[in-house]
Amino acid sequence: MPNNLVGNSLWYLVYNSDWLSKAVLITLFIMSVLCWTVFLCKFILQRLRMRDVRRVQEQLQAVRTLQDVNAVAASCAHTMPGRFLSQTLFVLNTLKEAQPDASRRNWDLMQYHIDQTTDKLLSLEESYLPVLSTSAAVATLLGLFGTVWGLIHAFISISERQSADITVVAPGIAAALLTTLAGLVVAIPALVMYNYLMNQVRKIELQIVNLSDKVSFIMQHELLG
DSSP code string of 152-191: HHHHHHHHHHT---HHHHHHHHHHHHHHHHHHHHHHHHHH
Of 2-6, 92-96, 97-101, the range with the lowest mean pLDDT is: 2-6
Among 24, 12, 18, which residue's Cα sits nearest to residue 140?
24
pLDDT-derived band at 112, boundaries 50, 70, 90: confident
Rg, C-alpha atoms of the chain: 28
Question: In the prediction, which pLDDT does 164 show?
Answer: 59
pLDDT for position 27: 92
pLDDT single digits (tens) 1-28: 454 544 356 666 666 677 787 888 889 9
Question: What does pTM read for this prediction?
Answer: 0.79
What digits encode the pLDDT tens for the residues 138-174?
A: 999 998 888 888 777 777 767 766 665 666 566 667 7
Q: Which residue, 184, 174, 183, 179, is CA-closest to 147?
A: 179
Closest Cα partner for 211 from 71, 47, 85? 85
- % of the chain surpassing 90 pLDDT: 24
Least confident of 121-125, 134-138, 190-194: 121-125
Q: Categorize the per-residue pLDDT at 79 as very low, low, confident or very high, splitting at 50, 70 and 90.
A: confident
Higher-pLDDT residue of 31 and 94 is 31
pLDDT tens profile 25-59: 889 999 999 999 999 999 999 999 888 888 888 88
- What pLDDT is recorded for position 95? 72
Least confident range from 80-84, 93-97, 124-128, 165-169: namely 165-169
